[in-house]
Amino acid sequence: MEPIETLLSASWVIPVEPSGQVLAEHSIAVHRGRILAVLPAHEARARYAPEREIRLDGHVLIPGLINSHTHAAMTLFRGMADDLPLMEWLHDHIWPAEQRWVNDALVRDGTRLACAEMIRGGVTCFNDMYFYPDEAGRVASECGMRATIGLIVVDFPTVWARDTDEYLAKGTEVHDRFRDDPLIRTAFTPHAPYSVSDAAFSRVRTLADELDIPVHIHAHETTREIEDSLRDHGERPLTRLDRLGLLNHRLVAVHMIHLQDAEIARLAECAASVVHCPESNLKLANGFCPVQRLLDAGINVAIGTDGAASNNDLDVHGEMRTAALLAKAVAGDAAAMPAARALEMATLGGARALGLDDQIGSLEAGKAADVVAIDLRELESQPIHDPLSHVVYACARSQVSDVWIAGRQVLKKRRLLTLDVEELVANAEQWRQRMNADDNRRR
């Protein structure tokens, strides 16, 4: 028998690839952080001699969920300035709060809180866009979480950098810092077409080409954004990005709500990816992303939560259900975005967007062992006619029992193994008190 480190055995395994497959009474053989095989449990026990076998009766194993767009540190702004339209929310509340409070300490503490929330919700990888990416990357790596860290670029001074030169210089330094970290990747994150100049975009494109990393950007989120672009540049945002050479397989375009048929065709032609953030879009009343039209065009679509200040959680599990239901309503078709497609968007779709689909996103031999166990024994999950349908439509993130990232267990029976919940809660409360005291002084 072949010695291995871990054998995960469950009532069901949903590998995601091939799509829609549900494997009953199967095991995942894991050694040195990678999946050796996915096979029937009785065959696995005959073939392997594991150091540990973890039996998860009544559970389903899925690939780790991927939060393909978030601002992790903004967990500390959760619930701030709710129920406002995007531009008022940004200009009058969020940007001033960031100018007042964002520093390396806030990013460390906010990202740590975000990692804990995401791990407990079955998220094993996140794609971040925020200031102090060096701190965010360090926190993710320390707690054993996979992340693509954004190298932010905007056209105005912030706490992170003064101008384009400094944003890009600091960004390339962060890229170099994590070059050898097995869990951390980087992407350039020019904030949005309305906050980045042509000259800065051109430099981002050149550096992204040289480093072969994604470009992660908000785009076509509101009708106002498009109207302002037509007024200021004489063209729609996507046309402008195309003119500047940014429409290619590395583009990760977030929101993409207001799209014309020709724009959808161009995204498909360029093999760009779209990240759908349905709950943030709903909360900010920005509109409905035409997800089924994107999928029908062959565009890779991933799922993101956006930041906890505009969602207000980092629950990819819930986002997946909302995305599936909303897609049906928008398309006027109950067959639009079936459960298997929704799960694929939240796993393999995210991996494709980040250029990591050869490593994560599905449970296949040779890939990293990023695995999530969901407990289907709860009353609210009975009876279990279709485990895959249950994962999308019936389960909550609170049913995530165990999580492994690169073969390392980071959640065991709902208990975080790399983060201290009591410490995180106490720290978040300290930040709240500090911010509220400052607000009261300013009134």
Decide if 35 contacts 365 (C-beta within 8 A): yes
Q: Are residues 16 and 155 in the same domain?
A: no
Number of C-beta neighbours around residue 397 at 10 A = 20
SS3 198: helix
Q: What is the distance between the alpha carbons of residues 37 and 27, in angstroms, rounded to a whole number?
A: 8
Which residue, chain included where needed, has tokens 């975005």?
Answer: 337
Residue 429 lies in a domain: no
How many other CB atoms sit within 10 Å of the CB of residue 324?
23
Say if 39 falls within a structural domain: yes
CATH number at residue 175: 3.20.20.140
Residue 39's DSSP bridge partners are 27
Asked if the structure places residue 431 within a domain, the reply is no
In a domain, 36, yes or no: yes
**Residue 378 belongs to domain with CATH number:** 2.30.40.10
Domain membership flag for residue 423: no
Looking at the structure, tell me whether residues 168 and 229 fall in a common domain: yes
Angle CA(119)–CA(256)–CA(20) in degrees, nearest 5?
A: 55
**Euclidean distance between CA atoms 215 and 352, whole angstroms:** 13
Asked if residue 152 is part of any domain, the answer here is: yes
Here the tokens at position 225 are 């954004």
Q: Decide if 121 is inside a domain.
A: yes
Q: Do residues 183 and 51 both lie within one domain? A: no
Give the burial class of 6: count Cβ atoms within 10 A of its Cβ; 0-12 exposed, 13-18 middle, 19 or more buried: buried
Residue 168 · residue 203 · CB < 8 Å: yes
Angstrom distance (rounded) from CA 315 to CA 321: 10
Give the Å distances, CA to CA, from 45 to 40, 145, 178. 9, 29, 38
Answer positive or negative: Cα dihedral of 378, 384, 386, 387: positive
User: Are 146 and 21 part of one and the same domain?
Assistant: no
Q: What is the pLDDT of residue 248?
A: 97
Q: What is the pLDDT of residue 94?
A: 87
Determine contact, residues 175/187, Cβ cutoff 8 Å: no
274 with 333, same domain: the answer is yes
DSSP track, 131-177: S-HHHHHHHHHHTT-EEEEEEEE-SS--SS-SSHHHHHHHHHHHHHH
Same domain, 101 and 170: yes
Q: How far apart are CA 244 and CA 221, in angstroms?
A: 19
Closest CA to 42 of 6, 9, 5: 9
The pLDDT assigned to 442 comes to 63
Strand partners, 48: 2
Same domain, 232 and 316: yes
- Give the distance, in angstroms, between the CA of residue 320 and the centroid of all CA atoms in the same chain: 11
Helix 104-120 × helix 133-142 angle, to 10°: 40
Domain boundary among 353, 383, 408: 353
Q: Which two tokens stand for residue 74?
A: 């903004």
Alpha-carbon gap, residue 76 to 164, rounded angstroms: 27
End-to-end CA, the chain:
71
How many domains does the chain contain in total?
Answer: 2
**99 and 248 assigned to the same domain:** yes
- Beta-bridged to residue 26, according to DSSP, are 10, 40
| Tokens describing residue 280 | 């943030």
Mean pLDDT split into 10-residue runs, the chain, 443 residues: 96 97 98 98 97 97 98 95 84 87 97 98 98 98 98 95 97 97 98 97 98 98 96 98 98 98 98 98 94 98 95 96 97 96 98 98 98 96 97 97 98 98 97 84 62
Same domain, residue pair 221 and 95: yes
Helices (runs of H) and strands (runs of E) counted in the chain: 17, 16
Instruction: Tell me whether residue 207 is in a domain.
Output: yes
Cα–Cα distance measured from residue 266 to residue 427, given in angstroms and rounded to the nearest whole number: 46
Place of tokens 């009544």: 58
Same domain, residue pair 300 and 286: yes
Boundary (domain end) residue, out of 303, 330, 353:
353
18: cis peptide before it, omega within 30°? yes
Range of the domain at 292: 65-353
189 and 201 share one domain = yes
On whether both 119 and 227 belong to a single domain, the answer is yes
Phi-psi bin for 239: left (phi > 0), alpha (psi -120 to 50), beta? alpha
